[in-house]
Amino acid sequence: LEGEEEEGFTFAGLMGMIDPPRTEAVDAIRECHGAGITVKMITGDHPTTAEAIGRQLGLLADGGKAVQGRELDGLADHELQAVALETNVFARVAPEHKLRLVEALQARGHVVAMTGDGVNDAPALKRADIGVAMGITGTSVSKEAAKVVLMDDNFASIAAAVEEGRRVYDNLIRSLAFVLPTNLALACILAVAMFFFPTVTVDGVNELLMAMSPTQILWINLVASVTLSIPLAFEILEPNAMRRAPRPPDEPVFSRFIIYRLVMVAALMTAGGCGLFLWEYYRIVGSFPLTAGLHAQALSEAQTLCVTVVTFSQIFYLFNCRSLRDSIFSLGVFSNPSVFAGVGILLLLQLCFTYLPQFRELFGSAPLDIQAWLTAALAGAIVLPAISLEKWIRKRKGW
């Protein structure tokens, strides 16, 4: 002690205090690293303290050193960018240093999330792509500057949010990959019918065979597609979702992979629908003289079979869409019960479409025998092994 000497005291002991990182924070940082997310610690603490905490968090290797804020002052922008990429722990930093570090990482093309709780964190929170303020200890200024407020002040919640975000995005892509092939298939079925189907002469009048009527197209779009696509929103997270690198910000939603899958599935649906339409129509007509009544009967049954083929194709493709890249068994067959509920509801609706007089009058459908149902199911089931084989080839080739 300097100055006046203290007397009359008896040394009773020394108390040390420590504020260790939360166990869940260590696990969350490890999970972020596995997901391709780099975590950096920027603190105003002493370098020795920052280095000790950094090692506990797995951010700093043994013997590694923290970079102090004063070391950043004399660096040019390109030098700062290199330091920001190579260093994970920064100590004794001022608000302007935090802002420069965020800008340096952004200049190298990174998407930056910044956490903070104080007034001095506000500029960096505002500049970051995702500013995350603390909901409990954070100041009102930091909360206003941030885009996200962490209500429990727990870093593990950020990792959980990333996990949920990937699940939601994957489910969005699944839904698009499921719905779009059906729409393309419907357009292709109509185009094939218009340009390639033969015309038939009914009581001296030439008529073009159409594989589906407008109301039947609406049935597939508004009933079948919607009923089956809703369960995909409740799909669980894929096992490897948090082991994938982050998606590039400029990556289009309609990637080449999605476009290829769209064309492939649409081609299978088109071939099955058009092929069985013609087969059913000419099976009924046979060698009989083509009267208006016979034509109407054959057309309605053939159109109903075409709709049923597309419906079964959607059902089997739904199971493939549960995981776009892995086997249909990778998520567990019964991990999403709503899928089976959607399939069951659609099958009941399809029975109504085929057999109930009110539906038949509205949609121009006709009853099908058991052979037609089995044929439609087999034609629709082709999608399942075809897409499974495509997934296997892509995985084997690393595409």
What does the angle CA 95 – CA 96 – CA 98 come to, to the nearest 5 degrees?
65
- Provide the residue range defining the domain that includes 85: 23-159
Neighbouring residues of 399: CB distance < 8 A, sequence distance ≥ 6: 257, 393
**265 and 279 share one domain:** yes
Measured distance CA(141)–CA(129) in Å, rounded: 17
Instruction: Give the pLDDT score at 5.
Output: 72
Sign of the torsion angle spanned by Cα atoms 334, 255, 181, 395: negative
Token output for 240: 């490897």
CATH no. for residue 57?
Answer: 3.40.50.1000
- The mean per-residue pLDDT over the stretch 204-209 comes to 87
Could you give the dihedral angle defined by the CA atoms of residues 287, 289, 293 and 297, in that order, rounded to the nearest 10 degrees?
A: 10
pLDDT digits (tens, 9 = 90+) for 178-194: 999 999 999 999 999 99
Give 3-state DSSP helix, strand, coil % of the chain, rounded to 5. Answer: 60, 5, 30
pLDDT digits (tens, 9 = 90+) for 345-373: 999 999 999 999 999 999 999 999 999 99
**312 and 255 share one domain:** yes
Confidence of residue 4 (pLDDT cuts 50, 70, 90): low
Instruction: Give the pLDDT score at 382.
Output: 96
Instruction: Say yes or no to pLDDT of 3 above 60.
Output: no
- The mean per-residue pLDDT over the stretch 299-326 comes to 95
Measured distance CA(365)–CA(60) in Å, rounded: 69
Total count of residues recorded for the chain = 399
- In-domain check, residue 347: yes
| 353-389 burial: b if 16+ Cβ within 10 Å, else e | bbeeeebbeebbbbebeeebbebbbebbebbbebbee
**29 and 72 share one domain:** yes
- In-domain check, residue 119: yes
Instruction: Give the pLDDT score at 29.
Output: 95
Q: Among residues 113, 87, 104, 254, which one has the least CA distance to residue 173?
A: 254
**85 and 223 share one domain:** no
Q: Which range among 15-29, 38-52, 174-188 shows the weakest confidence by mean pLDDT? A: 15-29
Structurally, the chain folds into a number of domains equal to 2
